[in-house]
Structure formats: C-alpha cells, structure tokens
Amino acid sequence: SSPLVAEAGAQAQAPERVNELGIQMLSTALHRQVFPNADPSRKPSIDQVRLSSRLLSRADLLHKLQAPLEDIHLDLPSLAGKTIEQHFLVLGLEQSRPYLDYAARFATEELPPTPTNWAKTPGWTKYTKLKQGGFATESVHTPEGDAMVFDVEVLWKLSKYPVIATAATSTHWYSWTSPDLLNLNAAECKETDSNRQYPEAIESINKDSSNDQGPFRTLIPMGGPAIDRVIIGHNISYDRSRVKEEYAIEPTRFAWLDTMSLHCAIGGLSSQQRPVWIKSKKYQEAGINSLLFDPVSDDDESAGLLYQQWLHVSAMNSLKELLEYYTGQILDKSTRDSFSSENPMEVLEDFDNLMTYCAKDVRATHEVFAKVFHRFLKKCPHPASFAGILHMGRGYLTVSEDWKAYIEKADAKASEYQQIIETTLVALAEDALKKENDPTRDEDPWLRNLDWTAPPVLMTKPKISKKGVVLQESRPAKRQRKLPGKPAWYRELWDSNAGRLRLSLSRRITPYLLKLQWRGYPLYYSKAYGWTFVVPLERKVEFGAQTPLEFSDNLEDKNYDKRASCDPDHVYYRIPHKDGDDLNVGSPLGKPFIASMEQGLLSSCVPSATSLLNMNASCSYWQGSRDRIRNQYVVWDDDCTLGIASAPDAKQSGVILPLTVVMGTITRRAVERTWMAASNAKKNRIGSELKMQIRAPKGYKIVGADVDSQELWISSLLGDRQFQMHGSTPLGFMTLQGLKVLGSDLHSSTGRILGISRDHAKVFNYSRIYGAGLRHATQLLLQYNPDMTREQAKQRAQSLYRETKGSSYSNLPPFNREFWYGGTESFMFNELERIAKSEFPRTPVLGCEIPDALRPETVKNDFMPSRINWAVQSSGVDYLHLLLVSMDYLMRRMGVNGRFMISIHDEVRFLVLEQHQYLAAYALQVANIWTRAVFASRVGIDDLPLNVAFFSAVDIDHCMRKEVDMACITPSNDVTEPKGESVNVYQLIDRLALTNLPQILGDELESVADIRDQLISNEAVSNNSESKSSESSLINAFYRSEVATSSPRWWLKVQMTTSKDDVNCIRKELLRRGYKGDECRVGMVV
C-alpha cells in the first residue's frame, strides 16, 4: 500500500494537482520548489493516456483511487542547481571535495621504498629515505599527508586492540607500535619458554567476554578530526575500528576508501559465479585450462557455463587474489599465522619480519588501488556515488553498560533451554533402553531402526587346577569395552569423560526417540535419501503420481539400504525439502520445519516434542549469532575519550564501529555480518532484542526512517516511464494507489492468485522482480503448502507468471529481441531486461555500470536473474547514496548536531542531539522528496505523486528498533521497552510551526554556492584546470548521460496485447511498413 494514507489528513475538496489518471501529485507550491524548470514537453500524449486507461481498465484498476490527502505546503531549501538533477550533481561534487582529487592523484603516484629495519618505539615512527642509503627515523604523533594506505595487525586470540600498524604516503613510510606491547615485562613472559601463553590475557578474556583488551588497550591516533584526509585499505572498516579519533561522537573528516568494495563494484562475482570461479581456479592451478560447461538456465545459474570469458575479467575479494588478478604478483600470506600467537613477546622477537609483512600488505593495497580507482570512477561516474560510499563508511553505533547484561541474559536463557532439551531426550533414551528385551520392540516403527547389537561382557578365564578343580570362577575382566551389554545406539550417545549420555536435537537418533511422523506416517532415515516417511503399500494411492523411492540390496549401489530394500509392505517418500524435491532433508528438527509442526504435517507420538522444538527454535537465533555478537568490538568511555556526557545512573557508554563493507556485493549493497543481518525482536527468539542494544546517549535521539516499498517503486517507475505518467501501468498503479484493506495492492493480488496469505505473497513478488523464475516460485509454493502436489504448485506458479510477467515472445524480426506481453508487470520486466541486455547496462539514475563479470559481452545470455536483480538492487543503492548526500548537506546547512549511524538497505538511522530531533526529521523528509524527484526526472517525468514524496513516518527513538512501539519482549528480555515517537509529515509541520525555517536554513553553504555558480556559467563543463580534472570528467560523464524518453505507440500496444495472434498482427504490420530491427529498437532504449 502507499506510504502516506488518508488518515494523515484526508480532505473533502479535490487536491490541487492530479495527473491524467487522477492520481494526486505534489501541490503547486511543492512542485514549483522541486521541479522549478519542468520541461512542458515531458508530458504524456492523448494517445498514451488513452492506452494506459485501457490497460488499467482491463486490470480492473482504473479510477480505484485512494482518498485524496491534505495538500502539503512546506518550505523546502532552494535547489543548488537549475534542476533537481543539477542539484544532486552540485551536492555530489561538493561532498567529494577534496577527497576525490586526493585519491585520484594518489592512485597515480608511487610509494617510496619500504624500510627493512623498523623502529621498536611506541606510537608512530616516520621513515625518511636518505640519499646515502638507509632511513632516518623520527617519532611523530600521527602520519602526515592528505592520502595514505593503512593496515593494522591484531593478536586476535588475545585482544581486539591493535598491536602494530603501517601506513604509506607518496613520500614517507610510517610504523606504529602499541605502547602496551613495549611495556610488557619480557622476563615474566619468557621465564619458561617462548611458547608459553600469556596467562593474564587469557584469564581476562575468559573472565569477561565484553572486556576484549587482554594485554592491550591503546588505539591508533590518526590526527585531528578536522583534517581532510583519504585513508585507503583493504576491508578498511576493520582498520578504521582501531583508530582513536573515530570513536569520538564528533565525526572526523577522514574519508575511508576500501579497495575490496571498489573491486566488488567493477569486477566482483555474483553468488552463483563464485563456486564456478573457485573451481576454475583450482583447475588452472592443477594445469587444466580447457573447461567446457553446459549452458546456464534461468533458474540454475550454478550449473556451469558454455562461455567462460567472465572468468578472466573478475576475481574473488581477498587482497591476495586481487593483487594477482590486477598485477600478476603473488602475495605471500604465510606470515599471517604469527598473529594467532597467544604470546605477545613473539611479536617483539620477530618484529622486523612482522612489520615487513604488514608493509607488504600496504604496498599490495596501493597497487590494487592504483588499478581499481579510476575504473570505479568510469563505472560509477556520478559524484554522488563516490560521496555516498564515503558516508556509508562512517557508521557509528552507541551502546550502554546494558550490552554486557544482554549477552549474559541471552547466554543464561539459551543454556537453560538446552539443559531442558537434553534432560528430556536423555529420559526418552533411558525409556527406549528398557525395551531392549521387549518382544514388541521390532513392531515399533521407530525403535526397530536402532542398532540393538550389544557386545558381551568380557570375562576372565576361570582358574583350574591340574586336577581339573575350578579354583576361581570366570569373572568380568577389569578392562571392558564401553558399556558392555548395552546396545550400540546407546553406547554411541555415551560421553565417557562426563560419565553420562549426551543428547541434542541435532543427533540422528532424536527423531526416532521423539517418534516423529510426516502426515501421520513414521520417519525413517536412509543414507541415500535422507529423512523419509514410510507408507503402507495399500495407502500409496493417497500420494497420487508421486513416485516412491527405490532402494537396492547391493552394498555397492548408492541407494543401498538393507531394511528398506527388503520391505515389500511399505513404500518410502522423501520429506519435502524447502529447496527442491530432489534434495535430502538432513534433519526434520531444523527451523524450516517449525511451520510444518504447527500445521500438523510433522507430528509426534511424544507429548513433549512440540515444546522441545519450540525451545530449540527459540535458541536458533542466538546459536547462529552468538559468536558474532560476543565478538563485537566495543570501546568504552573509560578507555577512550568519546565526548559523550555521562549518564545520570553512571552507566558506562560504549561505541561500536560496524565493520561495514560499503559495496560488498555486485549490486553495490553494503554488507555487515551482525547489524545488517539482525532480526527484529520476537517473543520466541532468545537474543533477538539485539538492535535494541544500540541506544542513544544522554541528550541524543536516534532519528531514522524506512524507505517505503523502495525497490518495488523503482521497478514500477521504470514501467511507468513508457507512458510518461506515474501509475500508468497496473504494477505502477497498484504500488501507488493499492490499499491493503481493499485488497487492491500488489501483495493482496498475488495472494489471491496463489491462494496464500498476503505476507507469503510478498516473498513471491520480490523474488519475481529480482528475476527468479517459475521453478523458484513452484518451490516456494511447496514450502508454504507442503501438502500440495508439485503439479498443482507448478500450475499455480504458471498462472501467477502469466498474469503478472505475461507471456514471452520469441526473438523474431523486426523486434529482434525476446519480450513480455499481456501481464500486469510486462512493461516493468521489459524495461529491466532492456537494461540487463544493453551493451553497457547502467542504473537509470546515477548511471552506475554493471560489473565486468555480468556484462552481456562476457556472459552472453547467462545469469539473467543476477543481471535483473542488479538493475533493481543497484538502483536501490543509488537511492540510498542520494539520500545520504542530501542528509549530509541539509544537516550542515541547518546546523543539526548529529551523525550517520547505519543503513540497513532501505533503512537509515542518525544519532542527533535531542534539541535538533525535529530538524533532523525535517531533513529526512526533504531528502526523500528530493531523491524521489530525481528518480522521476531521470526517467522523463517532471512530477511526483504526493503519497510517495515523503516518508510515511520518521522515527524518533532512544534505541534502535523496527517500530517505535515494539515492546521488544523476548525469552531473554522481560522488560517492556518504553515507546518512542513516530511523526508523519503533517505532524512534523505542526512540530515545526514555531520554528523559523527560513532563518535556520539561512544562506547557501559557500562551498555549494561556488560549485553551483561554476556549473551555471558552464565553467566546470570543460577541463578548465588540472586540479579539477577528476571533477570535470565526472561532470562531462553526467552531461553525456541520456535522459529517458517515452515509448512509441506500437511498442506500447505490443506489450498490452493478451494474445500471440495480436502480437503477430502488429509484427506483420511493422514488416509491411518496412520497419527494420534498428528502427524497432529505438522505442526500446532509453
């Protein structure tokens, strides 16, 4: 449904402005501010309006409009350019300065020679190359220079704090040594031998998981926070988290550039390509260079490749792989193992070698940077893309002392549940053991599958005299096998060290002890087919055309099974796997089967089974996340000056710098293993209140918002652009005007077609938009409806795709391309595939190009789902970068005291001084309308629907959570979290009623005004100075980029048709008129 709904302030009178389909647009005042120089020619023709109306009428959507909203009259800052597009060009350039030029120049410079002997002095040491040879050393507070490469090493088993580091500028090398390392008492650590562990450090770590100092507690200084400096590294967020100044609440002006991220954007690999690349690499190393693979289908990209050109234009992300790929050099990483030592004195003993190892990484990083940086600027030419990754690299999360209690409570609750589970299972095992001599045991369909063979008790030989008299009877021998006389299955569970049974839900015997059933039939484990269920032969008819499993009694066959192959009275079927019928289920007690248990498909003859499964599910999140959470690097205010006011309860304050890879995937999405993967708090998940642990310090608030239906709106906009109207296609109309309560939104529509819930339908919709095919949809249906046959699921999936994506038309002249027609989403899919199949696929707004490994030139027709997914998600990244660029500008212009915290895909959060909370909320709303507006402008529409212009709400909270009213009650947290505040744009206008916005906005920032004036006078379009060469190339690239235009009438009609005969008629008419392929493709390109 639409972000802003009528409850916000519905009005009885007609809205000020609507488009040709009746959809409410921006008010006149807002439109004038956002589109000050709207092009009158960029409006739909009468023919386009008529065709769109016919299309919407056929989908039963025409005139089904939401109640109009109260028109919004809000003063916005004036644009920093003549148009919204030029506005973002100015902001991007201003925020890229001076970092863009520093980095571009550094990428062309050589590093000085590397020292071979390193000063064993605390802190930073500067090395100056002498003419007569060798180096002069000088202790300095921080490195000097506006651009440098930086690398940190850590004794990770002892501490998360740094032990040594190196940095290099174009003129000097620098080394840093932890003062704590040099202050250690060498005699105490070496009194036995060099392999002795450092006991105090180990004891410290074991004693308190949140105290990760060990023997170290010093961070690395890098200079005053007001210094403009580019710091480059490979996975630079790791190194940034060891820098002292980054923990202060006042942000630095350092720009952190990550060579791994730059590579992902230009030469990264998709998840389907990585295993093929690794396999190819192994073959190459083994001397096998001729590889032939089968072509890749749309639904199975990992099957292999006929064309393998992409293997030679890409590489994995490690520094070692990238150095070899870009330069042919081999980086020796064997010394890295030295940093797993638990004796810090070994670093001093091998000091020069370890410093040189660190320096080699710095030099390798610079060589990679020199290769990737300018290629990145060509791939992503808009300065907002560069500025966006700088903002993304400055994440900052604040915690309180409650962080430690959170970990302790989650650990305690998980241990409690696991103890209950084990105790219950042990009792079931002991009960089963009692059946050892029970004659009915073999009639039990579960217990008969256990191995009941038991070794006899070993007896001593009796002592017999020469006369044959028994002097001593035979007795049990002192040395016995484990648990003599007990069955094999019982002995396998016995822990000799603990002297008791060890059982968990992950043990293969557990489903037998729990007497599990699938659809009322007992489970059976087969090595060939995993977990199956056993059906009496006479009940086989219940499973229709489903083919029973076949077993062999030949020991050498893969499907050998002694019991099943000799069972003529039953048939066996696989338990359905969520990823496909041909896959084996390794455990029916995993998370995917919780729903099956709730539906009654998976059941048990043991009353406690459901409770055990629920407990196990409650532990699953904590078990999977515990190590990552406990290993968070928290710097507390008693170890570093954070600049955070003390809380009234004297609790500690701490800061976590998230280890964000700002472009960690081929779509340029950011990746972070803990916070970006954190689930929302759930009542039945231990530790799921993780996000809530991020808390605003005293005097601050966390202000943020979620972009409503971001990627769905972007995708639908691409379809709408063909008519030059918002909401002109069924998908676009449902996205803008659909209402959940009326069932007229996309998710409700899909739910009706498939006969599933609206929530489940969301998964189908997004996976389809991301390029997933019929096979994926069929499997999802089977996952949500395990009792549905595969044929039924396939038919429903085909129906869904026929009504949404439409039907496919072959690659025939004069079209000369495959396309979709007749579906509610055909227009969108044709646009996405047009982008994916173009010679140089680029995002429509910021013009970022697809990585080399997915370019059509290198993959031909393979990896289409990945390429479509790239077009959608990479556009979503453009949205985020534009939003962050806007926020940086607005917060500086209004003097808002705050900083970026984190972005989780379509969600952004800022830490803001409490007195500025509503100004920050206003800045977010302005940033959103600007970002939506430039998306519309770039696809050729100089207008914006009112109900997507602003965030549905901006959250103002004291902690981080999905919704401000979430109680965050979990098994490990029984305290209800107080509510925060959520304000929509109407409420925000009321909050700001007494605020003099024009006065707060003041004059334009001088740095922005300078660039604006250059652009308006066209001085910056030409390469007018060497110092601005990098900026000029970006500006020229922007002006060369082409804005979308509408599609010709015949192309609209082709996509609207519902039958192949109609398409053929249009095709014949085009051929009769003499249309050629190139002429036809004119309407299919932007």
> Which of the residues are catalytic?
151
Tokens of 374: 């300018």
Asked if 726 contacts 736 with a C-beta cutoff of 8 angstroms, the reply is yes
The DSSP string of 881-901 is HHHHHHHHHHHHHHT--EEEE
Quick check: helix, strand or coil at residue 39?
coil
SS3 category, 642? coil
3-state SS string for 280-330 = HHHHHHCCCCCCCCCCCCCCCHHHCCCCCHHHHCCCCCCHHHHHHHHHCCC
CA atoms lying within 13 Å on the CB side of residue 530:
13
Which phi and psi angles does 164 have, rounded to 5°? Answer: -145, 165
Helices 84-96 & 1029-1040 angle (0-180, nearest 10): 160
Q: 3-class DSSP state for residue 570?
A: strand
Q: What DSSP assignment string belongs to 52-79?
A: HHHHHHHTT-TT-PPPPBPPP----PPP
HSE on the CB side for 673, CA within 13 Å? 12
DSSP strands (E only) in 284-413: 397-400
Apex CA 88: angle with CA 96 and CA 1000, to 5°? 90
Short-list 1046, 846, 830, 838, CA closest to 935: 846
636 membership: H or E segment, kind and range: strand 634-636
Contacts of 387 (CB under 8 A, 6+ apart): 91, 92, 95, 96, 881, 884, 885, 888
Query: Quick count: other Cβ atoms within 10 Å of Cβ 952?
Result: 20
Closest among 355, 368, 361 to 315, alpha carbons compared: 368
**How many residues appear in the chain?**
1086
Question: Contact 94/1028 with Cβ under 8 angstroms?
Answer: no
> Which amino acid makes up residue 163?
V
Burial of 878 (0-12, 13-18, 19+ CB in 10 A): buried
Tokens 């300095």 correspond to 140
Asked whether 886 and 95 are in contact (CB, 8 A), the reply is no
* Token pair in block for residue 823: 């579906």
Cα 46 from Cα 20, distance rounded (Å)? 9
User: What gap in Å lies between CA 278 and CA 288, rounded to an integer?
Assistant: 13
In angstroms, how far is the first alpha carbon of the chain from the final one?
A: 29
DSSP for residue 1046: P
Q: At what angle do helices 1060-1072 and 1049-1056 cross, to 10 degrees?
A: 160
For residue 466, what are the contacts with CB-CB under 8 A and spacing of at least 6? none
Measured from the Cβ of residue 336, the count of other Cβ atoms closer than 10 Å reads 14
Give the span between the Cα atoms of 715 and 871, in whole angstroms: 9
The closest of 143, 144, 139 to 121, measured between CA atoms, is 139
Q: In this structure, what DSSP letter does residue 115 have? A: P
Closest by Cα among 742, 741, 746, 721 to 731: 746
Contacts of 1075 (CB under 8 A, 6+ apart): 814
